[in-house]
Structure 1
Amino acid sequence: MRAPEDLSPRDAVDRYLDRRSTELAESSIRSYRYRLKLWVEWCEDENIESLEELSGWTFERFEAFRSGQGIASPTLHGEMETLKGHIEYLERIEAVEDGLAEKVHVPDVPDSEMSRDTMLRPEDAEELIRYYRTHDHVYGTRFHVALELAFHTGARLGALRGLDRRDYHSDEQFVEFVHRPETNTPLKNQRSGERSVSLLSEVCDAVDAYIARHRPSGHDEFGRSPLFVTFHENRVSENAFRAWMYRATQPCVAGACPHQYDPKDCDFRRHSTASQCPSSRAPHHVRTGSITWHRDRGFPAEVTSERVNASQDVIEKHYDKASQRERMELRRRPHLEKLTID
């Protein structure tokens, strides 16, 4: 058997991903695999054949190479951060010398660049949801309920598509998010992502209407009964759910097109091209808008954190898009009377 330091960069990455696969969601593993694939390919182009050849100079050259390709600062940050974690693993198994990971430079990125500004604005979400709730031809459809649940719970795409019919409790008005990796519906944060989220009665009314009138009967390949079912009677895929959300958030659903297209013959109204609509939003953008909406409505940070399964620091840095003026008016001003001196 080869000594660990004789492993090639490719073999080392394969071993690392295999070990991490037991503790990370598949979506995270895919992200790690893509980032480290770039590292492996660069090493092979540079004729680096074993781990014992790695040094601080190696990492410096790789960072300069990726930076020279014109990638965004957050992308470079993520790639180097992932590489550093990989080298830390190699230190632990004594495949490289102690302290080598400290020589991987992870560039700082301003908070303004790290955050994602695109979101479904709360006022736009409210307008869409009001329309869905008050118009019979769209009430309780898959588009309505996908948006209703996503915006009301702030849940991630994977958590929403992983819902079973049994996870929705109409009488008690809540929904459960459960980690089920063995049947292909893991949660991003695994067991720590499991939670019960309460629902308003009007949200339950919409879900009940979907189940009674629009939801096809069907089971997935594991015999489970999904909440979100396609017309082919299968559990909706991530790509299909993403397309549903693009359709659900197009502004022409509830009003005039802000881009002067005619909805009757607009190419963006098709399932395959909905993502190209300038105003449609992906599930992640709906989640971002939902978290901002929760905070604007006065939900305490710790309650929002538990509801959407994200730390308060992550919410503050990546999801909460309220401006400083909005934070003052909507969150702090209502408490001003507490400072009155009698």
Structure 2
Amino acid sequence: MELKPTPPQDAKKRYLKKKKSHVSKKTIYNYDTALKRFLEFLDKRGIKDMNNVDSDEIVRFESWRLDSVKPITCRNDMRTVSNFIQFCETIQAVPVGLHELVVPTKVSEDEEICEDILTKQEANDILAHLGKYEYASNRHVITLILWKTGMRIGGLRALDLKDVDKSRPALEIRHRPETGTPLKRKQKGQRDVLLNWETSDVIEDYINDTRPNVKDDNGREPLLASRYGRLAETTIQKNIYTATRPCTYNGGKCPFGEDTDSCEALAFDQANKCPGSVSPHALRRGYVTAARNAGQPKDVTGERVNMGGKVLEKHYDHGSYDEKAERRSEYLREI
């Protein structure tokens, strides 16, 4: 088969366009980010045509990437590159079978499992602080819902006012890609999540007293809103980074020895620079661990957070050996 001259940027554009038909915007963003690094490497190597990409160059890329990122990040990048190379085979830009020579970066089991987690005690302290000083604010409601339900931020952002069922009470998570709020697992991510009455009361107070009366660009009424419309995922993330800085909820003391009057992480846009702040996903891990420690069955927890049992057990349940032993104790029989 004769190869067709193909500039790397052109191949990347065609690849992403094909992917857009069946993956989420977040996934496209991740693909785009990984391929930017790959194309940056090819440019440094003076490669202007995908025809000149071979297995040796791909191995060189892996080595170059490992100089600046963790193995787990490199592994994810290599998987994207492998898929991209396979697409390039279909447009006759690289030899058929080249993608089979792309070997994902090896990582240890410890590296594969992220340890970033918010503990139950930390969550209780944060929510107590927010309930006292920022009651029914966006930050309070964001943190409360994520902690009490373990949902993804994509699901949280997708909620509309009509998705709040006050009678049960519950939140109804729905996949609406045509109006800008797809769920990661699409229709499989749809579910109703029951709330306790205390959480429901805070949400109702937010709706009645705090939430601006706005619609988004698609004419929908988002639950979480600013005066500009539906909150962006980045805004949700920044609120969590801010809420989880230790000095925010522990009386202003920095456990890392920083001056709390001049620390750069005090700014809303820089809160993620605090070594004690965590991402929204840490609340998801924390919820799963706390729920399992409280005796909530694995399948119930998995269905509530929309997650398979194997993924839950390996990546999200961070219970200690002692906690896991205690969970099993009630089922043990003397034999």
User: Structure 1-normalised TM-score?
Assistant: 0.86
In the alignment, what sits opposite 2:126? 128
The alignment status of 1:149 with 2:145, answered yes or no, reads yes
Looking at structure 2, the residues matched to 217 and 164 of structure 1 have their Cα atoms a distance apart, in angstroms, of: 12
In the other structure, the counterpart of 1:235 is 230
118-127 vs 28-37, greater mean Cα deviation: 118-127
Pairing 1:1-342 to 2, within 5 Å after superposition: 5-67=4-66, 69-92=67-90, 95-130=93-128, 132=130, 135=132, 138-230=134-226, 232-251=227-246, 254-259=249-254, 270-329=267-326, 331-336=327-332, 339-341=333-335
AA of the residue aligned to 1:118: D
Compare 72-81 and 244-253 and name the one that shifted more.
244-253
- The runs of 5 or more residues in structure 2 that have no matched partner are none
User: What is the count of residue pairs matched by the alignment?
Assistant: 332
Structure 1 contact 229–236 (Cα < 8 Å) conserved: yes
Deviation string, structure 1 residues 135-181 (Cα, Å, up to 9, x no partner): 4x543232222111101111112221221111111112111222222
Contact kept? 2:245, 2:276, Cα under 8 Å:
yes
| Rounded Cα–Cα distance in structure 1 between residues aligned with 2:81 and 2:228 | 41
For the residue of structure 2 that corresponds to 1:322, the secondary structure is coil
Instruction: Give the aligned residue type for 2:126.
Output: L
Change beyond 3 A, Cα 1:272–1:8: closer
Change (3 A) 1:6 1:253: closer
Question: Deviations 1:13-72 (Å, cap 9, x if unpaired)?
Answer: 2111111112111111111101011112222333334333332222222222223x3421
Q: CA RMSD in A?
A: 2.6
Overall identity of the aligned pairs, in %:
33
CA distance in 2, matches of 1:144, 1:63: 42
Aligned AA (1:256): G
Answer yes or no: is the 8 Å Cα contact 2:5–2:50 preserved in 1: yes
Q: Give 1:75's aligned amino acid.
A: T
Cα pair 2:254 2:260 within 8 Å, conserved: no
Instruction: Give the distance between the partners of 1:263 and 1:248, measured in 2 at CA.
Output: 18
Q: Which runs of 5+ in 1 are unaligned?
A: none
Q: 2:180 is aligned with what amino acid?
A: N
Cα distance in 1 for residues equivalent to 2:260 and 2:7: 57
Q: Confirm or deny: 8 A CA contact 2:246 2:254 kept in the other structure.
A: no
What is the CA–CA distance in structure 1 between the aligned matches of 2:281 and 2:214, rounded to whole Å? 27
Query: 1:71 aligns to what SS in structure 2?
Result: coil
Moved more, 245-254 or 195-204: 245-254
8 Å CA contact 2:3–2:51 kept in 1: the answer is: no
Residue pair 1:216, 1:233 contacting (<8 A) in 2 also: no
Q: What is the rounded CA distance, in whole Å, between the counterparts of 2:262 and 2:184 in structure 1? A: 36
Superposed displacement of residue 289, structure 1: 1.1
Instruction: Describe the shift of the 1:312–1:93 C-alpha distance in structure 2 as closer, same or farther (beyond 3 A).
Output: farther
Contact 1:226–1:235 (Cα < 8 Å) also in 2: yes
Amino acid at match of 2:328: R
